[in-house]
Amino acid sequence: AAEEETVEVDDVEVAHHVHAEEHVVAGPSGEMLKVLDVTDEVDVHEHIVRHEHERERDVVEREG
Residue 63 maps to a domain: no
Write down the pTM of the prediction.
Answer: 0.30
The total of structural domains in the chain comes to 1
Alpha-carbon span 39 to 20, nearest angstrom: 6
**C-alpha to C-alpha distances, 30 to 8, 9, 25, 33, nearest whole angstrom:** 61, 59, 9, 9
Its domain, for residue 43, covers 2-56
Quote the strand ranges of the chain, DSSP E. 2-26, 32-56
Residue 31 maps to a domain: yes
Average pLDDT, the chain: 74
Residue 19 maps to a domain: yes
Residue 62 maps to a domain: no
Please write the tens of the pLDDT for every residue from 22-35: 989 898 898 999 88
Alpha-carbon span 46 to 42, nearest angstrom: 13
Please write the tens of the pLDDT for every residue from 35-59: 888 888 877 777 666 666 555 555 5
